[in-house]
Structure 1
């Protein structure tokens, strides 16, 4: 009589559980860490409402929540564009969407009064304008992911130069604020900054989750996607809108946080062992990366908290060198 071996859970389910546990662990560490250490018991007491702490509930919790939600949003945005371009370099920060959103924010700061609503609207508008320009330039004689990446890199360089010119021409106080904001930071975020962005990101991620199956079919080839009933033109437009919306919403609040959208999808794909780039591992990996980078930014030169974009750029630069080296060897 043979004994059947116990069934193992799918690798993706194990990876999802581990990443979710890491997010919770980093969140607890973020709530405990600060100028004064709070014990896990004290944090849990505040979260369950038995105690009240302004430091934990009003200062640390918004920052921890922003790290998780914004990291997940950037991970999904990166997965969208890497699936769209079928290229590991096809992320919002590489093809110019971050720079376009920053241009919109600079317009709000220098021309308008720079209110949170104006920053959000202008960031989304700037990202949409740049994405439209990149997309229209890349669809000549048929859509090509490689062409989109190359054109996006060129547009990114031009928009970055424009942003530098705007900062140089701005008043000193506005220029200082714009340069500091451009590093990408979660310092000082509170619940009033997060209510609307969290709602927008929730809607965008829900829309993208409903289209996840169709998106994965497109990653296997246009012909296969069409035969299974996927409307490629409408799906690609929706993917671009959701990706731009996720990127611009984060940029409007925290500034352009580089390299999370580039690294998270590829790391998530390798962890899950997936042929395509699944959304859930990319989102969870993005949350882990941004939370971890923010904790490092707080601890590195404590008590001075660095902008999280400084850490993510340093780590992401190493990742980009590794990725380019691997792609060159493969070629």
Structure 2
């Protein structure tokens, strides 16, 4: 009952943040005009509400869900509460592919950039698996290989930025993570894909619970550990890759949301995954809202806001993990 209450509270907070996000901004929309802006094409606020802010809010919800659930899966697989898509190099791989596209194909259509980012995430996954294969995909090995791989991708990004300074602003905007300019084209891609992947993740929640207790116990319960870990890792990478392809390299959502969900409802993924999804969406909505209203008419990329929120919390988690040892 208490766990269900947390989910309801999270959804109510999401609705409130959506309303505020549609209302607030450089051009404020009064509450009595939001409904007409959503439904009446003749309304003066229709374009801003329906064509600018509503798709932006929708992308934030689905991307936040994707990053949070991807992080929750990784934390269960690696048995490390400080894991996230950033830690194993997935975000860096997607960013490298996106930055390479920005610099090498500056005139490419809009769909090329997110496709390149998703491809970069999947290539990162393949490299991670190939480098860890001889060591049976052990959690510690995956984490260490991911950190090293992320450093290599980050070096590649720096190379492009130094070599092609003309497009550095676009690359920095992508690497900071931003919801600026997101429209219905992105919503129509990210919403169904994240929904399907989330349903698949919920169907594997019990396997995640078993894998958390260790390989020996998992094998004694009849679980094919290597195969299931590889499949669930692919699922996590796919969710993170789709989210990053839509909003850029936004950090800390995949770390904070699963950890907060675990603090609220425990480590059973039947509840942890949906709670993490809601928290991730709320964090991204809040970060985007703050980024749009702090320095009106300018806009702070949402990735910077989430980093300002997430970095102190990450330091707190590190300190707590050290005290518990």
TM-score normalized by structure 2?
Answer: 0.91
Query: What is residue 126 of structure 2 aligned with on the other side?
Result: 132
Structure 1 pair 285–217 and aligned structure 2 pair: CA distance change class (3 A):
same
CA distance in 1, matches of 2:27, 2:291: 17
3-state SS, counterpart of residue 116 of structure 1: coil
How far residue 253 of structure 1 moved from its aligned partner, in angstroms, is 2.3
How far residue 50 of structure 1 moved from its aligned partner, in angstroms, is 8.9
CA distance in 1, matches of 2:266, 2:206: 17
Q: Which runs of 5+ in 2 are unaligned?
A: none
Q: Is the 8 A contact 1:108 1:122 kept in 2?
A: yes
Q: Which runs of 5+ in 1 are unaligned?
A: 1-8
> Number of residue pairs matched?
321
Equivalence map 1:180-199=2 (5 Å): 180-199=173-192
Q: Is the 8 A contact 2:135 2:141 kept in 1?
A: no
1:88 corresponds, among 81, 85, 92, to 81
Matched, 1:121 2:112: no
Equivalence map 1:263-278=2 (5 Å): 263-274=256-267, 278=272
CA distance in 2, matches of 1:85, 1:309: 25
1:109 corresponds, among 102, 105, 110, to 102
Q: Is the 8 A contact 1:184 1:257 kept in 2?
A: yes
Matched, 1:212 2:226: no
Q: Is the 8 A contact 2:67 2:253 kept in 1?
A: yes
Q: Is the 8 A contact 1:105 1:119 kept in 2?
A: yes
With 121-130 and 176-185 compared, the bigger mean Cα shift is at 121-130
3-state SS, counterpart of residue 123 of structure 1: helix
2:280 corresponds, among 280, 286, 306, to 286
CA distance in 1, matches of 2:34, 2:210: 43
2:227 corresponds, among 212, 222, 234, to 234
With 248-257 and 131-140 compared, the bigger mean Cα shift is at 131-140
Query: What is residue 243 of structure 1 aligned with on the other side?
Result: 236
Q: Is the 8 A contact 2:59 2:186 kept in 1?
A: no
Query: What is residue 16 of structure 2 aligned with on the other side?
Result: 25
How far residue 143 of structure 1 moved from its aligned partner, in angstroms, is 3.3
Equivalence map 1:5-154=2 (5 Å): 9=1, 11-47=2-38, 52=43, 53-112=46-105, 113-154=107-148
Matched, 1:317 2:311: yes
3-state SS, counterpart of residue 36 of structure 1: coil
CA distance in 1, matches of 2:120, 2:92: 8
How far residue 281 of structure 1 moved from its aligned partner, in angstroms, is 1.1
Q: Is the 8 A contact 1:89 1:149 kept in 2?
A: no
With 274-283 and 101-110 compared, the bigger mean Cα shift is at 274-283
How far residue 98 of structure 1 moved from its aligned partner, in angstroms, is 0.6
Q: Is the 8 A contact 2:76 2:212 kept in 1?
A: yes
CA distance in 1, matches of 2:246, 2:28: 27
Structure 1 pair 29–66 and aligned structure 2 pair: CA distance change class (3 A):
same
With 254-263 and 194-203 compared, the bigger mean Cα shift is at 194-203
How far residue 81 of structure 1 moved from its aligned partner, in angstroms, is 0.9
Equivalence map 1:138-177=2 (5 Å): 138-170=132-164, 172=166, 174-177=167-170
With 55-64 and 127-136 compared, the bigger mean Cα shift is at 127-136
CA distance in 1, matches of 2:99, 2:52: 27
How far residue 258 of structure 1 moved from its aligned partner, in angstroms, is 0.8
Query: What is residue 3 of structure 1 aligned with on the other side?
Result: none
After superposition, give the CA deviation of every residue in 1:181-200 in whole Å (9 maximum; x if it has no partner): 21100011111232122232
Query: What is residue 4 of structure 1 aligned with on the other side?
Result: none
